[in-house]
Chains A and B, each alone.
Chain A
Amino acid sequence: MTSTPQVDTSRLEAYWREQWRLMLTLLVIWFAVTYLHPPFAASLNKIKILTGFPLGYWLASQFSITVYVILIFIYALTMNNVIDKKYGYEEEE
């Protein structure tokens, strides 16, 4: 109980690399949907979509924030159901 538990280093390292890959991919998408459209908002606004939204405004007010929600669920479900399983990091019962 009090002794430091044994950490299987090579398994952890492989697991950590794989989680890094997923994390970086999602962070790149996060960065893109946050920072790539506002600098061009003025020009994008000339395009109207859906019920009349100027595109630049719509990207910031609806698109980006909806992508954020999706990114988190993709991360959580992939980690919990795929990557953790693959490396045997599962809850015991």
Chain B
Amino acid sequence: MAQEAGYTPLTRTQLSEFRRRLARYYGAFFVFLIVFTLVLYLLERAGLPHRFIGYAFIFLTLALYAFIGILNFTRRLEEYYVAGRRVPAIFNGMATGADWMSAASFISMAGTLWLLGYDGLAYIMGWTGGYVLLALLFAPYIRKFGQYTIPDFVATRYGERARLARFIAAICAIIVSLAYVTAQVSGVGIVMSRFFGLDYRVGVFVGLAGVLVCSFLGGMKSITWTQVAQYIILIVAYLIPVTFLSAKLTGVPFPQLMYGKALSEITQLEQAMNLSSYVQPFKQALSNASAIQAFQQIGLTPPQPITVRDWVGTPWQFLAFTLCLMAGTVGLPHILVRYYTVPSPKEARISVGWSLLFIWLLYVTAPAYAAFSRWEVLQNVVGQPISALPEWTANWIRTGLLKITDANNDGILQFSELSINGDIVVLATPEIAGLPFTIAALVAAGGLAAALSTADGLLLVISTAVAHDIYAKIIDPNAPYGRRFLLSRIMILVAAFIAALLAIPQFALIVQLVAWAFSLAASTFFPVVLLGIFWKRANANGAIAGMLGGLIACFVYMIGNYIDPRFNVLGLSHLSAGIFGMLANFILLIVVSLATAPAPKYIQDMVDQLRIPVGEMHLPAPGPAPGTAPGVAPAGQD
């Protein structure tokens, strides 16, 4: 490991001074954001056209990200890969929150809840409960290990076959992250085109520019400090509209508590209209509609439409999907690497708590968005004369997100005559609440922040997987330091370019891939890292068999069920394929490890070190290390 000379960790006093300085900066930024929004609101009332308000928000936020990026320009690998390992727990928590909450969390999750009702709560529980596993099982040990990437961990822990293990892990990290980053890039395009009327493709490239100024110059260091700012923007933007809506509809500006009222109103309206209940669980049938759409788009012959209703009403899919999302969360490389950046394992533990608290704030609010807007739609849209719909609907009918057809020509809008794109739930709330356009622009800036912050983290994972894991560790271990650095930067550009190319055609398959990313991560990294820490007997043969077997089992179920939903176990959909991948991985890892020789002594000693929450790791040197002589007990000297 090419440790750089002169890079010493901060002392405790320096760290707390650093923390105070950060709190001052970001506190000032928060105040500035509020003042900026108020000023624009006053300008709006004075007659500033909406277009300029929108541009002001995009320009301000992108300029801010660029500024932080340039400020954090670095030539140190330790800063480029892991932000110098001096990010205080609470700030790493905010950065993880922004890293984690993507365009999908910000824009689409409330809409998913709107459409799925209770069943959508699997996302809420799955995407938060995973952090419990992260805190208890992973984060402090990953920090103690203290290298740069997740393949680093896999290769060192399963050091008997380091190169193969690293290669498989790096490829998995690249597949998972590339699917995910493509979705973010397309999210940027969507935000840009919906709010500011930019062409989708132009939006994609403007957004990419925003990502690149950050990650290209300062790597993890600038990404981290940008993500903290992005968290502040996205959470403020998320909370404001729904708080006003709650105040308008219920008189109490506390949506998280008051949407109970919305839920009971919804239930009554549904009964009056003979609709299925929003809060009723397990309504989803298995269908291959999304596969048909995806096949048609690429020009392949689509499979016959099949719907399987046998398992409606059973909880299996809900439970399995929740577990998949949880294990997948823990296995996502861009989240795991964030815990390399804190100063110590103790800080890592607390930092996961902060991360989840910041994420909780958005996730506890998303169902409120869904409930209030469903209430609004059932009360003021459905059952009304089509000529007298509320004012806010007109705008969204124009964008195509809201579709109404008077199928029975009675001039009244029935529920079945309404078709809603889920994204509208968050996007239209400012208008439903009667808020000025300035707030809508703030929401757009929030959506942009969510998409960019996640894209940043992912691009870095992809570039490190290539430049560090595949090139510097496998192809040319003697590569000079400068060349590794240059390659990292080039790879960020290449990955961003590929993501943009993949995002432009707006393949339905990409949306699918993101949903699958969790299953893939659960099938590969989760068991291997978990047993690597908690079971000394796990060895390289087991890990390699486990990762490959997990990947295959996951893919077989996924593709099989995606095309023909009659292929299923207990009614689990392809979204839960990770269950089978995880199971295969655990079984193979355990059986093959037990059938072959235990991990050598030096690796078992390393696992012991991992478990001690203080001090630095002493990794066995590659090559003829003391560990390669089996059975040599460490001598009594210090």
Task: Please give the distance in Å from A5's CB to the nearest CB on chain B.
Answer: 6
* A23 adjacent to B260 (CB under 8 Å): no
Nearest chain-B residue to A39 (Cβ)?
B315
* A76 adjacent to B135 (CB under 8 Å): yes
- Out of B263, B350, B357, B609, which one reaches A69, CB within 8 Å? B357
Within 8 A of B (CB), among A34-73: 34-35, 38-39, 41-42, 45, 48-54, 56-58, 60-62, 64-66, 68-69, 71-73
* B605 adjacent to A30 (CB under 8 Å): no
Instruction: Find chain B residues with CB under 8 A from A91 CB.
Output: 12, 344, 346, 614
Task: Please give the distance in Å from A59's CB to the nearest CB on chain B.
Answer: 9
The answer to whether the Cβ of B128 comes within 8 Å of any Cβ in the partner chain is yes
* B349 adjacent to A61 (CB under 8 Å): no
Report if A65-B353 is in contact (Cβ < 8 Å); known contacts: A45-B280, A50-B260, A51-B257. no
Nearest chain-A residue to B136 (Cβ)?
A23
* B618 adjacent to A68 (CB under 8 Å): no
Instruction: Find chain B residues with CB under 8 A from A27 CB.
Output: 132, 136
Instruction: Find chain A residues with CB under 8 A from B615 CB.
Output: 5
- Out of A23, A50, A62, A77, which one reaches B364, CB within 8 Å? A62
Instruction: Find chain B residues with CB under 8 A from A41 CB.
Output: 118, 281-282, 315
Task: Please give the distance in Å from A37's CB to the nearest CB on chain B.
Answer: 10
The answer to whether the Cβ of B125 comes within 8 Å of any Cβ in the partner chain is yes
- Out of B121, B132, B322, B346, which one reaches A26, CB within 8 Å? B132
CB-defined interface of B605-638 with A at 8 Å, one 1/0 digit per residue?
A: 1001101111100101100001000000010111
Instruction: Find chain A residues with CB under 8 A from B318 CB.
Output: 38
Task: Please give the distance in Å from A33's CB to the nearest CB on chain B.
Answer: 8
Complex CA gap A65/B360 in Å reads: 7
CB-defined interface of A1-19 with B at 8 Å, one 1/0 digit per residue?
A: 0111111010010011001
Complex CA gap A91/B637 in Å reads: 22
Complex CA gap A26/B602 in Å reads: 31
Instruction: Find chain A residues with CB under 8 A from B356 CB.
Output: 68-69, 72
Instruction: Find chain A residues with CB under 8 A from B326 CB.
Output: 34
The answer to whether the Cβ of B74 comes within 8 Å of any Cβ in the partner chain is no
Instruction: Find chain A residues with CB under 8 A from B136 CB.
Output: 23, 26-27, 72, 75
* A35 adjacent to B319 (CB under 8 Å): yes
Instruction: Find chain B residues with CB under 8 A from A73 CB.
Output: 350, 353
The answer to whether the Cβ of B264 comes within 8 Å of any Cβ in the partner chain is yes
* A80 adjacent to B315 (CB under 8 Å): no
* A12 adjacent to B612 (CB under 8 Å): yes
Task: Please give the distance in Å from B194's CB to the nearest CB on chain A.
Answer: 27
* A6 adjacent to B638 (CB under 8 Å): yes
Instruction: Find chain B residues with CB under 8 A from A12 CB.
Output: 608, 611-612
* A56 adjacent to B118 (CB under 8 Å): yes
* B613 adjacent to A79 (CB under 8 Å): yes
Nearest chain-B residue to A22 (Cβ)?
B136
Within 8 A of A (CB), among B360-409: 360, 363-364, 367
Within 8 A of A (CB), among B131-149: 131-133, 135-137, 140
Complex CA gap A77/B367 in Å reads: 30
Instruction: Find chain A residues with CB under 8 A from B128 CB.
Output: 64-65, 68-69
Report if A68-B257 is in contact (Cβ < 8 Å); known contacts: A7-B608, A52-B263. no
Instruction: Find chain B residues with CB under 8 A from A53 CB.
Output: 259-260, 263-264
Instruction: Find chain A residues with CB under 8 A from B129 CB.
Output: 30, 34, 64-65, 68
* A65 adjacent to B124 (CB under 8 Å): yes
Complex CA gap A79/B344 in Å reads: 13
The answer to whether the Cβ of B261 comes within 8 Å of any Cβ in the partner chain is yes
The answer to whether the Cβ of B478 comes within 8 Å of any Cβ in the partner chain is no
* B11 adjacent to A93 (CB under 8 Å): yes
Complex CA gap A69/B124 in Å reads: 13
The answer to whether the Cβ of B258 comes within 8 Å of any Cβ in the partner chain is yes
Complex CA gap A68/B260 in Å reads: 21
Nearest chain-A residue to B609 (Cβ)?
A7
* A57 adjacent to B350 (CB under 8 Å): no
The answer to whether the Cβ of B490 comes within 8 Å of any Cβ in the partner chain is no
CB-defined interface of B475-489 with A at 8 Å, one 1/0 digit per residue?
A: 000000000000000
Report if A7-B125 is in contact (Cβ < 8 Å); known contacts: A39-B315, A53-B263, A69-B353. no
Within 8 A of A (CB), among B112-133: 118, 121, 124-125, 128-129, 131-133
CB-defined interface of B181-203 with A at 8 Å, one 1/0 digit per residue?
A: 00000000000000000000000
Complex CA gap A12/B536 in Å reads: 14
The answer to whether the Cβ of B352 comes within 8 Å of any Cβ in the partner chain is yes
Report if A60-B118 is in contact (Cβ < 8 Å); known contacts: A52-B264, A68-B131, A73-B353. yes
Report if A76-B350 is in contact (Cβ < 8 Å); known contacts: A4-B605, A57-B279, A61-B121. yes
* A42 adjacent to B281 (CB under 8 Å): yes
* B257 adjacent to A45 (CB under 8 Å): no
Instruction: Find chain B residues with CB under 8 A from A54 CB.
Output: 263-264, 267, 279
Instruction: Find chain A residues with CB under 8 A from B346 CB.
Output: 76, 79-80, 84, 91
Complex CA gap A69/B616 in Å reads: 29
The answer to whether the Cβ of B256 comes within 8 Å of any Cβ in the partner chain is yes
* A30 adjacent to B132 (CB under 8 Å): yes
Task: Please give the distance in Å from A76's CB to the nearest CB on chain B.
Answer: 4
Nearest chain-B residue to A20 (Cβ)?
B534
Instruction: Find chain A residues with CB under 8 A from B260 CB.
Output: 48-53, 58
* A56 adjacent to B258 (CB under 8 Å): no
List 27 A–B pairs whose Cβ atoms lie within 8 Å, in order of A's numbering.
A2-B621, A5-B618, A15-B611, A27-B136, A38-B315, A42-B280, A45-B281, A48-B260, A50-B257, A50-B260, A52-B265, A53-B264, A56-B118, A56-B279, A56-B281, A57-B263, A62-B256, A64-B128, A65-B124, A65-B128, A65-B364, A69-B357, A72-B136, A72-B349, A79-B346, A80-B346, A89-B614
Residues of A at under 8 Å CB distance from B? 2-7, 9, 12, 15-16, 19, 23, 26-27, 30, 34-35, 38-39, 41-42, 45, 48-54, 56-58, 60-62, 64-66, 68-69, 71-73, 75-77, 79-80, 84, 89-93
Ranked 4 nearest A-B pairs via Cβ: A51-B260, A52-B264, A76-B349, A53-B260
Residues of B at under 8 Å CB distance from A? 11-12, 118, 121, 124-125, 128-129, 131-133, 135-137, 140, 256-261, 263-265, 267, 279-282, 315, 318-319, 322, 326, 344, 346, 349-350, 352-353, 356-357, 360, 363-364, 367, 602, 605, 608-609, 611-615, 618, 620-621, 626, 634, 636-638
5 further contact pairs, Cβ within 8 A, besides A3-B638, A72-B352: A51-B259, A52-B260, A64-B129, A68-B129, A68-B131
